[in-house]
Amino acid sequence: MRKVHTEAEADDGLHGVRVLVLADLRFEGEAIAGLLASRAGADAHCVDSAVRARRLVHGERPTVMLWSTHNVGRHSVAPVAALRASVKLGLVMLVDRIARDALTELLGPEGQSFGVVRRGAGPTANDIVRALDEVNRGRFSLDPAILDVLLDQSNGDGGLSELTGAEREVAELVAAGFRNATIGERLCKSERTVEKHVSNIFVKLGLRPECHPDLDRRVTAARIVLAERARRW
């Protein structure tokens, strides 16, 4: 039985602990890694894909990994879940939403520590360090109330609420089966602008190409839009 530890029980300090930071956005991951090194003395390294994370894990054996992302669903969880299944690795997630089936996969085998820090709660550097410290000690660092929020949100719009108005317009046309050039004509935008919107949509829906080389992200994004529309009806 895993024990849930409260914030008051945590003991900050990651001096010498090897931390791998996996981030959707490279600049964010580098900033977090730098913060962990300067504030907590961690030996932190940043990668922006699960493929690179796998190489580092098997080569240097970090103690714990921080996965900074926005929305975690059934498709986006596979690479990290496979990594957890292949090597004992504590995991802390900095996340907005997580699907229930994805969470089940991420928990990994019994004995693998796990923690969650909710982005929407405005976490501080100390919050992140504390969660990593707990997980590094082999504990299960998670506030059940926060988990309920993450799970409830993830079952709502699949991450679509993160899209801007312009991105939502593009997403609806992607779901209708239009290609980028046609979408640009319909919205009076350049094809390059539409491509940028589509790229942002994929990131916000947790469909980064590095993590899903074999996945048709356009079709998957369309399914998410259509599923959300069906729920509204």
pLDDT by residue (tens digit) across 78-93?
Answer: 788 888 877 778 899 9
Residue 38 forms part of a structural domain: yes
Residues 184 and 127 in one domain: no
- Decide which of 154, 184, 212 is a domain's last residue: 154
- Decide which of 154, 176, 204 is a domain's last residue: 154
- φ, ψ at 97 (rounded to 5°): -140, 150
Q: In this structure, what DSSP letter does residue 233 have?
A: -
For the cut 90, the answer to whether the pLDDT of residue 62 exceeds it is no
- The arithmetic mean of pLDDT across residues 184-209, rounded, is 87
Residues 164 and 132 in one domain: no
Q: What is the CB neighbour count within 10 angstroms for residue 89?
A: 21
pTM: 0.60
For 39, how many CA atoms within 13 A lie in the half-sphere containing its CB? 16
Contact status, residue 135 vs residue 91, Cβ threshold 8 Å:
yes
Residues 36 and 103 in one domain: yes
For the cut 50, the answer to whether the pLDDT of residue 185 exceeds it is yes
pLDDT by residue (tens digit) across 80-130?
Answer: 888 887 777 889 999 887 877 778 777 766 667 888 888 877 788 888 999
Residues 99 and 131 in one domain: yes
Of the listed ranges 36-50, 51-65, 185-199, the one predicted with least confidence: 51-65
Instruction: Go through 168-202 and write b for each residue having 16 or more CB atoms within 10 A of its CB, e for each that does not.
Output: bbbbbbbbeebebeebbeeeebeeebbbebbebbb
- Decide which of 154, 175, 209 is a domain's last residue: 154
Residues 12 and 76 in one domain: yes
For the cut 50, the answer to whether the pLDDT of residue 7 exceeds it is no
Q: Average pLDDT of the chain?
A: 78
- pLDDT category at 205 given cuts 50, 70, 90 is confident
Residues 131 and 184 in one domain: no
pLDDT by residue (tens digit) across 211-226?
Answer: 555 567 788 788 778 7
Residues 135 and 172 in one domain: no
Residues 32 and 137 in one domain: yes
Instruction: Give dist(CA 46, CA 30) in Å, integer.
Output: 6
Cα 123 to its chain centre, rounded Å, is: 15
Structure tokens at 192: 């390059």
Q: How many domains does the chain have?
A: 2
Residues 122 and 51 in one domain: yes
CATH number of domain containing 205: 1.10.10.10
Residue 20 burial (CB < 10 Å; 0-12/13-18/19+)? buried
What range defines the domain where residue 124 resides?
A: 7-154
Residues 84 and 196 in one domain: no
> What is the torsional sign of CA 218, 73, 86, 40?
positive
Q: What is the CB neighbour count within 10 angstroms for residue 61?
A: 12
pLDDT of residue 72: 80
